[in-house]
Structure 1
């Protein structure tokens, strides 16, 4: 009993030590670009989201966890407001787009920062999100504002971005370029739509924690947001985190929310527990599965042959091949294989039903192989092919 307690104590100390080590050891930095407003990792957007109320002069910025269509139809909105989306890919369907256009047309503002933007939205507003070939990637490419009051002498370098994304603009009096890269390609534009404005930004990495907290680039995001008026602001998280929070993403969420289904769930669980207790015992002896006997002779022969071949012992393998082939001829046709002469050849051709010419060629090859001092891999393959062809002729002659 003392020994059992001793071993149990050792196990407990070991497990506790491992758990504490895993909990307190430094965690590697996660460089995944999530753009989520509750992520503290370099490419999350928690820093900007927490500072946004001060920029917008609002008490709080509301998070949206609904598709654009649902949000704009189910939410009571103020007369004018801002809608901000920062994500990798901005994905909306036809209904979302229709409601978003109507939202801006009525005098609201939408700032969308994403690498991939829908072509259907660009077709309506007069722009297209383009990307250059991988060979033209440039992590040293600098970005800057067009407005002289906002631009800096050296520009901004977001070196984790490869510099391939830019915006193509159709000629339109309603579009104003707000930011360009060093190639003079637009990356930030303003589009007047009805009474409101769209702000399309093609570099969402600039709004992440890494660049918002870096002294060299920290003011870029706030200068870009300064184009939005100080109005109630909504921050879209549906594009990144989906509709539900982490504690709402259980597959049983709907079942648990309905009283009838919830009681049914508990009854099923309780019933399964009772079944496991009272009816879980095996009522019939397990019938063992008896495998039929296998003929492993052929497998053994193949294995030995492969072993000789892999070791490169072609001479030994060829001579054994001849030895077993002659033994087969003796057993099947009652031939004397001590002398592979003309009489042996004619007898074999007659009894096997093969042509005299083919039989003579095979016997000649067998005789030459027996006389050879050393055989190569090519000789072995030639011999094997001749024997297999002869056996094939025998099988065909039977039908």
Structure 2
């Protein structure tokens, strides 16, 4: 027990390892967050306000209370814009505003409209030490800037030279920073977002690169996009599940719990009680009983007794179904029975002759079978 407690305390107080994941978010103090730049950006813009946004471009630029002139800054790995976002952003720049985008991947629709393409070289070992610098002599550094965590493969290709000014190149003389005039405003397209992260702003050899790049922005109110990185929700609006998924230990615990519950449902959630046996419903054995009794009479050759029972059952049937008095089966009775039952008169006459014969003579097997055939034939015709 003591060992477990000691291990738990050790894990709790152990310094957390440095997170080198590039998030580019303005509240992250990790190496590849942008907290330093966001805090110092008002100084670059002559103390103009900088507002963080967690809304899609379309939603924000549809606001009727926007300043007359402003900047819109995107610093992220990938810029994703819907057709509505792209249209609003182009209209925004066309009215005289400025859009600054630093990313590795850009929407193809926006790139084609502005006349550039973000490309990648085949990786080589030399690219990891590739230098970057500005083309403006006023901003160009004496030695190239080196961003060793970038693989140096990324560069830009321009397709509309008349509207485009190259502001920065790499050591291969490929553009990495462009100004593209659009209507009354402009787009600044930058292909190295790592240069704006905390790590390189606090590194003496690269600390002024981001400020020089952003010095092209006019001194006016600026909107800083966080929607491309975090979505709509701020840290104080994160749901419990969002928080769990941002913490690796809690994420593992969450997934293990889900997998455990699924396994329980699959294997342990089956019925564990004994199988209830199927009980067949009781069958109606009346018919079988009658058949057995009849078979017994027949086997004993008691044909007369069996014939009398069949005759009694038949006469009871006639009384119940047709309302006739069977005590005196005279000619008038037979004619009435033929009319009511629908059985032909000759068949009725033959049946009652056989009944009269059965009541006066000793019954043979043939006579019993003949009587049965006539009675069954009467039932069939009467039901028809």
Give the TM-score normalised by structure 1: 0.59
Q: d(CA) in 1 for partners of 2:224 and 2:64?
A: 14
Change (3 A) 1:148 1:289: farther
Per-residue deviation, 1:153: 2.0
* 1:172 alignment counterpart: 161
Per-residue deviation, 1:289: 6.9
Larger radius of gyration: 2
Q: d(CA) in 2 for partners of 1:213 and 1:60?
A: 23
Gaps spanning 5+ residues in structure 1: where? 1-9, 254-284, 291-399
For 1:32-181, list aligned pairs within 5 A. Answer: 32-58=21-47, 60-74=49-63, 76-135=65-124, 138-181=127-170
Consecutive aligned runs of 4 or more in structure 1 exceeding 6 Å deviation = none
Task: Assess if the C-alpha contact under 8 Å between 2:29 and 2:198 holds in 1.
Answer: yes
Per-residue deviation, 1:58: 2.7
Q: Deviations over 1:146-202 (max 9, x none)?
A: 001111121100011011110000142211000000000000000111111100000
* 1:287 alignment counterpart: 273
* Alignment partner of 1:239 is 2:228: yes
Change (3 A) 1:165 1:137: farther
**1:201 aligned to which of 190, 198, 219:** 190
Task: Assess if the C-alpha contact under 8 Å between 2:116 and 2:160 holds in 1.
Answer: no
Q: Deviations over 1:318-352 (max 9, x none)?
A: xxxxxxxxxxxxxxxxxxxxxxxxxxxxxxxxxxx
Q: d(CA) in 1 for partners of 2:64 and 2:238?
A: 22
Q: d(CA) in 1 for partners of 2:168 and 2:126?
A: 19
Change (3 A) 1:252 1:167: closer
Gaps spanning 5+ residues in structure 2: where? 243-270, 277-384
Task: Assess if the C-alpha contact under 8 Å between 2:48 and 2:219 holds in 1.
Answer: no
For 1:238-277, list aligned pairs within 5 A. Answer: 238-250=227-239
Measured on the aligned residues, the alpha-carbon RMSD in Å equals: 2.3
Give the TM-score normalised by structure 2: 0.61
* 1:22 alignment counterpart: 11
Q: d(CA) in 2 for partners of 1:176 and 1:23?
A: 53
Task: State the number of aligned residues.
Answer: 248
- The SS at the match of 2:128 is coil
Task: Assess if the C-alpha contact under 8 Å between 1:137 and 1:162 holds in 2.
Answer: no
Task: Assess if the C-alpha contact under 8 Å between 1:136 and 1:164 holds in 2.
Answer: no
